[in-house]
Structure 1
């Protein structure tokens, strides 16, 4: 039987980026990846893992020649895509064989409507017009965007633009799909839908997929093989999904790589003397393993107060609005916002008390990012597009002077590149402090502290746009944290982060919250929300549909499904247990265990 040629065959791939130097030329960066062998066949999904900065995104860009033909770099080794040596072919020549979804979907949007965007690739490949339209409709229906085909991509949510990027890849007809964090901004229901599409494509033998992903609770059931890079960009291990993620869980934890929640929970239980053998990969396996034990000790007492969920509806008049909260640092009343002819927020009433850590959750397009941006003053709609009122630390974000507003509230964009404006990492951190007129010695001390906390010290002189996606995210958060605002608003703060850096970031946010900083986080990561939030506000169709503590909001399956969400992985594992004391466990911190080093809680 003849052997089918690989869709992708990397041999000894070593990449050193061209970094600008002070003389107007360039210098070579450290190799990442460094000597990687990797193969992807038709009909399989290969999951690429590794800590932030190890070269995962660079490897992805090398598969279609963007590295080195567009992004300057010295490349050693060979990259063969669909039988073509990438070194001898320009990126457009490879477009029929390999389609890419970037870590940042905004980087690949080029037209004015959703339909035109999806038609763009097959049109440029000279596909007949009727076939172009057939492909475009099929792709948009697969990702749930057909009804928005006439919209400008700019009015889509971040998750909507990720769906659009995937539709463009599907419509191209390329046999190899290279997906760099394709679900990072998708709600849990959207993740399930996207992975269902990819599963159909690979099981039918139509395509092969190279997937860079941190959400292993979803990806573990899709992937066939795993390749793990270490911090130096070399292959640390590879093999079947279960053999690597479960069989080498301790090694991956030491590398700072994400693990499935069920596996991580079992490791924590092991530290408490509760042996789960074999380690589980999926929540259902953890449920079965715990039920098989002779007895379970009681879970740890929750560290935050538990209150009842408060279903809410938009106020119809001032008399119906929630009563004033004297301690509220954020106060929103009857807020309605329209964008692109659509009502994005509809009668929002919300108080956030000083020192809370509030998570805004909901499906893509629910209005989370718009609410966060209006609160932070980043989005200032025209008078005709906004009604109601917003106050943050006593300021109206629409009218306050920028200097006053940035002292009161810090904001971290969903896309970190939207807030990077200088040419050095340390200057980026110092910019806001210098504009406030702080003494230079205090500026230097604060910058050094953030560089150290966020693992950016060795990159201090690097141009921010030359950082990896995860490093850019840490820098963007650092620029907000360094100013020590009263209110910190973050949109998907762990996007693109490896486990070690995500834990460090979340621990820092928790410490800021403990010190009295009010933190508002937009997130689709339900396990993150369960672990760290003191309060969850769920939005659907621009309205607040629930407001309460994480255990209550995230424990209501009917509410979660109505809002396009899913319960955290640990909650899915524990709610079916025979022992009723364990059915409300949603957080790793509630397990009877000493903390696993680097696991966070």
Structure 2
């Protein structure tokens, strides 16, 4: 892409923002420019002020959200602190972290048309913009539906369509793919790639899923823990040249880059540092085996995370669960068992019924009586207090479960309901706040936390009751890498101590790294379930479910010069060369078809045009055990991207 040398479209100078009730600015002092045609990725640890910065770009902060703002922002020559938000909306199109915060009408078509209508555009142009935007995100065929009927990922695509319809020269997206399945992510980035090819618009992107974003962006701006600019430069200079620094800071990196850093410690050179699965595979094939340690060691047994023993008791049983939302049946005769002490991932495309299923398990949505039992309790007959002692639930949107006015009281509420002494409540609350890095926010209102901090608080509120089952909907949404690792390590510790963990996620690397058992949903039915490694060895199943293999598996399958690596799918297994050596005799997996980084935008555009969402094969809409083509990969804890 050719980046314009014209006057910057966005000019940020020494921007500092302090929310009402807070004393520390986040961001503290940020300066950078964006010119037409640029795609800029904004990175930083949770709490550094990324989302706050985006809210300031179109004047919502401080004009609608009270805050003290220092420094200045100009968009297309307009001062965002003094120009009305309505006028700024024609220059800055916003897609928030939470799509529900910006959806207001009764149909998808009305929602997308709402913005252009308020600009008093001719009807024909309004309808043309709305149709084009909805087609770009794959929602045109559902244009007459209510937005409430969409899945979380569907609502995010709708929010992107609303921003596209405004035609603003600067598009600001705050984690736009956080709730999307892999196919949806490809569609969104395909649409965005097509949007910026003309070179007259710019995009500022806040994103944790760098595996999807890295080939799309031109430049990276990094904020540090204190809200200052730590790096600003081209993708290669920042993500390759400063990868070790960013990793230490707790910022997300592409999975292939994290893998390469681990392999470097094991003796591989890997120069330049890979950013994509294709680059990692090519780099491994271009160098000899590391000589610093021997690969000839053999051990008597291979370490892997085992499933709970077959004799383990069932802690959750689901029998013939059919669930309706309004007039729509979203689950159809689901049967499912979850063994006590297991770590289960529930995956599937947007709209597959994942959130509906776990909400029925936790009683958030009341299931028909007799269909769901948790620890012997009939969820359809149980009261909320009794149910909370058996199963804790963490919502996809953390704000949906906050009830107190301070972070401290939010955690303490569950303990006070148990009638514990005040001293014990304070001690346990402070311990949990420390564990989740929220001590400094103890007196803040939960709604004033960053997205990542809200997520950690929501997990903390679910943990305090000590229920034997913990269910989480997208647990790493809004988290920086360090906090995601910390959270997942905590979940692993709880799991090792006997707590049953059930997560819904679109992060396939997270599933591979942590879950011993996986359930695949499609069209409201269980498509398949079984050991995680077995499921991800079945490429046909993964493709038909609308999913994608984890990034590390895509990178290492088919490594010709190092076939001993081809069976590794989990990040934490990489540095242990003695374990790698034990895999040397395993058969090499087939090599996936590569897509070069330089061709990403062109390919993404063509994918959007020629590959609309596909229906699940009806023959797979029955519960069946997957057929494993290879022995399962070893398991151990590791971070996910």
TM over 0.5, shorter chain: yes
* Superposed displacement of residue 374, structure 1: 0.3
Correspondent of 1:561 among 543, 549, 552: 543
1:15-42 Cα deviation digits (max 9, x unpaired)? 11111xxxxxxxx531111221121222
Correspondent of 1:329 among 293, 311, 315: 315
Cα distance, 1:306–1:586 mapped onto 2, change above 3 Å: farther
Give me the whole-angstrom Cα distance separating, in 2, the residues matched to 1:518 and 1:45: 42
- The answer for the alignment partner of 2:353 in structure 1 is 367
- The answer for the alignment partner of 1:7 in structure 2 is 9
1:391-442 Cα deviation digits (max 9, x unpaired)? 1111122220111100000000000000001001010001112112223233
Is 1:100 the counterpart of 2:94? The answer is yes
* Superposed displacement of residue 553, structure 1: 1.4
1:248-287 Cα deviation digits (max 9, x unpaired)? 1111011110111111111111222233222111111111
Correspondent of 1:400 among 359, 373, 382: 382
- The answer for the alignment partner of 1:87 in structure 2 is 81
SS in 1 for 2:20: strand
Give me the whole-angstrom Cα distance separating, in 2, the residues matched to 1:497 and 1:387: 37
Correspondent of 2:403 among 395, 414, 421: 421
Cα distance, 1:336–1:206 mapped onto 2, change above 3 Å: farther
- The answer for the alignment partner of 1:315 in structure 2 is none
- The answer for the alignment partner of 1:121 in structure 2 is 115
1:197-218 Cα deviation digits (max 9, x unpaired)? 1111111224210000111111
Is 1:262 the counterpart of 2:263? The answer is no
- The answer for the alignment partner of 2:632 in structure 1 is none
1:332-357 Cα deviation digits (max 9, x unpaired)? 01111122322211121110000000
Give me the whole-angstrom Cα distance separating, in 1, the residues matched to 2:37 and 2:555: 30
Give me the whole-angstrom Cα distance separating, in 2, the residues matched to 1:253 and 1:100: 29
1:312-334 Cα deviation digits (max 9, x unpaired)? xxxxxxxxxxxx98711000011
* Superposed displacement of residue 368, structure 1: 0.3
Correspondent of 1:136 among 119, 122, 130: 130
Alignment of 1:66-77 (within 5 A): 66-77=60-71
Deviates more, 1:454-463 or 1:576-585: 576-585
- The answer for the alignment partner of 2:616 in structure 1 is none
Is 1:243 the counterpart of 2:242? The answer is no
Is 1:464 the counterpart of 2:465? The answer is no
- The answer for the alignment partner of 2:273 in structure 1 is 279
Q: How many residues align?
A: 571
Correspondent of 2:54 among 53, 56, 60: 60
1:155-176 Cα deviation digits (max 9, x unpaired)? 2111111111101101111111
Give me the whole-angstrom Cα distance separating, in 2, the residues matched to 1:464 and 1:107: 16
* Superposed displacement of residue 388, structure 1: 6.8
- The answer for the alignment partner of 1:455 in structure 2 is 437
* Superposed displacement of residue 139, structure 1: 0.9
Q: Is the 8 A contact 2:371 2:380 kept in 1?
A: no
Is 1:341 the counterpart of 2:324? The answer is no
- The answer for the alignment partner of 2:599 in structure 1 is none
Q: Is the 8 A contact 1:302 1:590 kept in 2?
A: no
SS in 2 for 1:343: strand
Task: For structure 1, list consecutive stretches of 5 or more residues without a partner in the other structure.
Answer: 20-27, 308-323
Give me the whole-angstrom Cα distance separating, in 1, the residues matched to 2:437 and 2:20: 22
1:513-536 Cα deviation digits (max 9, x unpaired)? 000000000000111111011111
Alignment of 1:504-543 (within 5 A): 504-543=486-525
SS in 1 for 2:351: coil
Q: Is the 8 A contact 1:335 1:388 kept in 2?
A: no
Cα distance, 1:348–1:2 mapped onto 2, change above 3 Å: closer
Correspondent of 2:426 among 435, 444, 447: 444
* Superposed displacement of residue 292, structure 1: 2.2
- The answer for the alignment partner of 1:155 in structure 2 is 149
Cα distance, 1:253–1:79 mapped onto 2, change above 3 Å: same
- The answer for the alignment partner of 1:433 in structure 2 is 415
- The answer for the alignment partner of 1:316 in structure 2 is none
Give me the whole-angstrom Cα distance separating, in 1, the residues matched to 2:447 and 2:396: 16
Give me the whole-angstrom Cα distance separating, in 1, the residues matched to 2:4 and 2:132: 33
* Superposed displacement of residue 445, structure 1: 2.3
Structure 1 consecutive aligned stretches of length 4 or more whose deviation exceeds 4 Å: none
Q: Is the 8 A contact 2:330 2:353 kept in 1?
A: yes
- The answer for the alignment partner of 2:626 in structure 1 is none
TM-score, normalised to structure 2's length?
0.86
Deviates more, 1:549-558 or 1:397-406: 549-558
TM-score, normalised to structure 1's length?
0.92
Q: Is the 8 A contact 2:513 2:638 kept in 1?
A: no
- The answer for the alignment partner of 1:310 in structure 2 is none
Q: Is the 8 A contact 2:369 2:379 kept in 1?
A: no
Cα distance, 1:494–1:2 mapped onto 2, change above 3 Å: closer
Give me the whole-angstrom Cα distance separating, in 1, the residues matched to 2:83 and 2:504: 42
Is 1:591 the counterpart of 2:592? The answer is no
